[in-house]
Chains A and B, each alone.
Chain A
Amino acid sequence: MAAGYQIIDEPRPGNLSRLTVDPLWPLLSFMFGGVFISWAWSVFNSAVMGSPTRNREIMAVAFGLLGYFALLFGMDFLVRSELVAGLSHSYTRILLIGFALVPSYYIYLKQSAAFELYEYFGGAVFNGIPLLVVAYLVGGKLQQYLVAAVWNGVQPWIR
C-alpha cells in the first residue's frame, strides 16, 4: 500500500492479505454454494483486504441474516396458516434467494471499489477458483446445518 499519508477510502491490508480475491468470486459462490458461504467468504475477504467499508459490509450481512430468518419464519407461518390460497414453500425459496441477493450485491459493489485501489497499489490477489470449488462442496451442507440449527433453536419459542 501507499506509504505516508493515508487517504480514507484506501484499503489497509492485514497479514493475510495474500488471500484477497476479486469480490466477484464470493458473489459467484452464492450461485454454487448458497448464501451463507458467500456471505462468510465476503466478510473474510473484506477483513483480509482491509476494506475501508468493512463495518458496513458486516452490518449488511448481519441485517441479511436477520431478514433471511425473519422471512423464512414469516413465510412458514403464512404457508401453514393457509391465509393465502395456493402459497407453498416454492415461493419461500424464491423470495429467500431474491432477498439474499440484495446484501450480496451491496457487498460486491462496496468491495469492488476497495479492490480496485488494492490492486492499484500492487496488493497480492489470490485465485478464487479453488475456493469456489470448496464453496461448492461445503456450501450446501453449511446452509442445511445453519437453517436446521436456527429452526430447531427457535421452534420451542414460537410454538
Chain B
Amino acid sequence: MDPLNSAIERLVEKARRQYSYSDMAGATETLREALSIDPANSFLHSYLAIGLIGMKRLVAAQYEARAGLEHDPESPFAHYALGQVLCAKMRPKEALAHFHQSLELDPEPDNGACHLALARAYSMLSLRDKAGNALERALELDPEDPDTLAAMARWHLEGGDRRRARQYLREALQVEPQHQQSLVLMGQVLLAEGETDEAYDHAIWALQQDSSDEQALYLLSSVKARRNPLFGLWFRANSWLVSGGNSRTILILVVGFLLFQLTSQVLDDTGHGQWSSLVHYGWLAIVLYSWVGPAWFQRRVNEELKTVSLKPGY
C-alpha cells in the first residue's frame, strides 16, 4: 500500500473516532493534517466540512464542501456534505438538489443518512408530508437506527403530536439508552408537558455524556428559565434576539437605542421634562436588568454544570 495513502487512512479513522466522541476541534486538526498530505482529496475536504458545521464555522464549511465537489463532481459524499452545509445555512432548496444528486450518484441508492438529510430539508421548507415520507423510507431501511427514530420523534413533535414523539423516543432509548439527541428531545417533550423535574434529569443525563452539547445546554437553560420567570425573561428575550441572526439583532438594538434617545429629546423639547426623566429611569432599569440578568443566569447554569461534572463516572 502507498505509505501516503495508508497515513491518510489512519488519519481518517482517527477523525471518524473523534467525530463519534463529538470532538469536532480534534477531528478538524486531524483532517488538516491529512489535507497537508493530499490537498486535492475530495473526501477529506467534504469530511472536514461536516466537522466545521458542528463548530458553527459555516463560511469555512461551505468553502471546504465546494472544494470537495470541485475535486470530484461525481462524489455522492461531496454532494451530501454540501447539502448539509446549505441546510445549516438555512438554504434548504439548494440543499435538496444536492441530496437528490447524492442519492442518484450513490452506488447504494438507499442511503439512510441521505434520506434523513432529505427529511430535514423538507421540514425546513414546511413540506411535512415529503419529510414524513423520507423518514418512513429511512426507517424502512433501518428500523432500529436511533438517529432515524429521533428524527421521526422530532417530526411528530413539530406536528404537535407529543404522544407519538414520546413513543419513538422510547424506542430510540431502548436501542441506545445513552442516545444524546433522544435524551434531549425527550427532555423537550417533558418540559412542554410541564414535567420540569424529569426534563431537568434528561438535560443532566445528556450533559453528563457531552457537556458541550448545545441542545442539552439549551434544554437545561430552558428548565432554569421555567423555574425562575423573572430571570427566565432574559433567556427568552435573548433567545428571540439571536434567533433572527446578527443583522436583525444589531438592527433591533440600534432602533431601541434611537427610540429611547429620540423620545427623551422630543419630550424635553415639548416641555414634558418630567416624562423624559421617567423614560430615562426605564432605560436605566433595562440596562441594569440586561447587565445583571445574564450574569446571574449564567452563574446558575454554571453551578448546575459543576455538579454535573462532579457526578461519579463522569
Contact = CB atoms under 8 A, between A and B. Distances in A.
Contact of B64 (A7, A97, A101, A109): A7
Given A9-B60, A91-B265, A105 B35 contact: no
Top 8 A-B residue pairs of the complex, sorted by shortest distance between their CB atoms = A4-B36, A5-B35, A9-B60, A98-B258, A94-B261, A105-B250, A8-B63, A5-B36
B254 A4 contact: no
A98 B253 contact: no
Contacts of B194: none
A30 B290 CA distance: 20
Contacts, number: 61
A106 interface: yes
A139 B269 CA distance: 29
Nearest to A100: B254
Chain B at the A interface: mostly helix, strand, loop or mixed? helix
Nearest to A99: B254
A109 B246 contact: yes
B269 A7 contact: no
A102 interface: yes
A105 B253 contact: yes
A53 B265 CA distance: 37
B262 A4 contact: no
Interface of B: 25, 28-29, 32-33, 35-36, 39, 48, 52, 57, 59-60, 63-64, 246, 250-251, 253-254, 257-258, 261-262, 265, 269
B250 A98 contact: no
Contact of A4 (B25, B35, B64, B258): B35
Contact of A91 (B48, B59, B250, B262): B262
B25 to A, nearest CB: 8
Contacts of A98: 254, 257-258, 261
A95 B35 contact: no
Q: Give the most central of B25, B28, B29, B262: most A CB within 10 Å.
A: B262
B254 A9 contact: no
B257 A101 contact: yes
A106 B258 CA distance: 17
B241 to A, nearest CB: 13
Contacts of A106: 246, 250
Interface in A67-104: 86, 88, 90-91, 94-95, 97-98, 101-102
B269 A97 contact: no
A148 interface: no
Contacts of A138: none
29 contacts: A2-B29, A2-B32, A3-B36, A4-B32, A4-B35, A4-B36, A5-B32, A5-B33, A5-B36, A7-B28, A7-B32, A7-B52, A7-B57, A7-B60, A8-B64, A9-B57, A10-B60, A88-B269, A90-B265, A94-B261, A94-B262, A94-B265, A97-B261, A98-B257, A101-B254, A105-B250, A105-B253, A106-B250, A109-B246
A102 B250 contact: yes
B250 A4 contact: no
Given A86-B269, A101-B253, A109-B246, 14 more contacts: A2-B29, A7-B28, A7-B48, A7-B63, A9-B63, A88-B269, A90-B269, A91-B262, A97-B257, A97-B261, A102-B251, A105-B254, A109-B250, A120-B25
Contacts of A95: 258
Nearest to B264: A94
Contacts of B52: 7
A105 B256 CA distance: 14
Contacts of A8: 59-60, 63-64
Contacts of A120: 25
Interface string A109-133: 1000000000010000000000000
Contacts of B63: 7-9
A35 to B, nearest CB: 13
B228 to A, nearest CB: 28
B15 to A, nearest CB: 13
A109 B248 CA distance: 12
Interface string A1-26: 01111011110000000000000000
B255 to A, nearest CB: 8
Contacts of B250: 101-102, 105-106, 109
A5 B48 CA distance: 12
